[in-house]
Amino acid sequence: MEHRIERIGSLMREKIGSLILSGKIKDPRVDSFLSVTRVEVSKDIAYAEVFVSSFKTEEGLAKGVKGLQSAAGFIQAELARLMHIRVTPKLRFHADTGIREGFDMIQKIDTLVNSQAELS
């Protein structure tokens, strides 16, 4: 059962990502810079927590998450059509700042390395 839930989450991540990239979600707050990082499906498949990231600012990411949440009904209907499963989980979208934090950390490390090189 756990393996099935993981497969459903992985497939949902792929399908939601392709909906975002293809521009089928018409909300102007949702753009192709958003990417689905992970989907956590509940054991009873009633809910799915969808984590979204972006290279844009935190404000841009928050707007994108709100846009996705307002389009959740449409996305859920598309998933039901594409995935052919009996129960399609209710979607809840969350901002995932991990990619942005990693990018910021790399920039800080590069700055430190460059300043050390200048001192040598």
Structural domain boundaries in the chain: 2-119
Q: What is the pTM of this model?
A: 0.81
Kindly state the percentage of the chain with pLDDT values over 90: 64
**Residues contacting residue 25 through CB under 8 Å, at least 6 positions apart:** 19, 67, 68, 71, 74, 75
Lowest-pLDDT range, 19-23, 47-51, 101-105? 101-105
Instruction: Classify the phi-psi angles of 49: left when phi > 0, otherwise alpha if psi is within -120 to 50, otherwise beta.
Output: beta
Tens digits of residue pLDDT in 96-109: 987 777 777 888 89
- Binning pLDDT at 50, 70 and 90, where does residue 114 land? confident
Assess whether pLDDT exceeds 70 at residue 120.
no
Average pLDDT, the chain: 90
The CATH number of domain 2-119 is 2.40.10.10: no
Tens digits of residue pLDDT in 55-76: 778 898 999 999 999 999 999 9
